[in-house]
Chain A
Amino acid sequence: MEFVRAFIVGGLICVVGQIILDHTKLTPAHILVSFLTAGVVLGGIGLYEPLVRFGGAGATVPIIGFGYALAQGAIEGAKANGVIGAFAGGITSTAGGIAAAIIFGYIMSLVFKPKTKN
């Protein structure tokens, strides 16, 4: 059942992005940035957490969930260590994903040659 919920929640978030893509001049890069920022805001005011509890990976895998993790980390950091925690918390909670993106991105671009685009 949790797989169905993940599928539906994740799918619907992507549909929202697709509608924005098809009906505006925004590019996927705009969508990534705005969804991420939306995740930070929604996470910050506590509106995203219910969706995470309901949808599991369906809510955390889309980039909006990355924003949610940033906000959660910043709030936890602020609770524990005040202003310093507010600065450090966001990156701390997402450090794994960011580090992975950097090192795997670097390795893959050395290993593979770009395919010719058609």
Chain B
Amino acid sequence: MENMTNKEYQQYAEKKIPKPTYFKNMLMAFLVGGIICTIGQLIRNWLFNSGLDEKAVAGGTSIILVFIGALLTGLGVYDKIGKIGGAGAAIPITGFSNAIVSPAMEHRTEGLIFGVASKMFIIAGPVLVYGVSSSVIVGILYLLLTKGR
């Protein structure tokens, strides 16, 4: 160690710099996202087998997953899943749920209206604004394109 030249030290230091973890991040996102979707499929099948129609199944699956995401966020578990899974935890609907509960809990001290109720929508708000607006545009474009024929 002590007899190292500058150059040798540089090479040594470069070896110690952590390599970009892109591949690991991708793998973890794949695994965590895949597991959450598989749980979603389990819930879907269960609801289907209990005789619900397609719409009720889709709605019910969302409701149950949102509940799971909210509960795990409350318990502090979802943040840990998020650290491991990155986008794999953020993109499923449980991540949407997490994006609502997390700021709501954090701003609890600011009160029930301007703290919890308003901060819930820090991320969910933009999601709904863009989602709902673009869906209305899709519906109207559909009308224009089909009426024109």
Contacts and interface: CB of A to CB of B under 8 A. Distances in A.
B92 A105 contact: no
Contacts of A98: 128
A101 B100 contact: yes
B72 to A, nearest CB: 9
Secondary structure type dominating chain A contacts = helix
24 contacts: A8-B34, A10-B34, A13-B33, A14-B33, A15-B87, A17-B88, A18-B86, A21-B86, A28-B87, A28-B90, A36-B131, A37-B130, A61-B37, A62-B93, A63-B93, A63-B127, A90-B138, A97-B93, A102-B120, A104-B67, A105-B100, A109-B120, A113-B105, A115-B76
Contact of A89 (B36, B63, B139): B139
Contacts, number: 277
Interface residues of B, number: 76
Interface of B: 22, 25-26, 28-38, 40-45, 55, 58-63, 65-67, 70-71, 73-76, 79, 85-88, 90-97, 99-101, 104-106, 108, 116-117, 120, 123-124, 126-128, 130-132, 134-136, 138-143
B87 A18 contact: yes
Interface in A1-57: 2-3, 6-15, 17-22, 28-29, 31-33, 35-37, 40-41, 43-44, 55-57
A90 to B, nearest CB: 3
Interface residues of A, number: 82
Contacts of B41: 2-3, 6, 56-58
Contacts of B94: 61
A74 B136 contact: yes
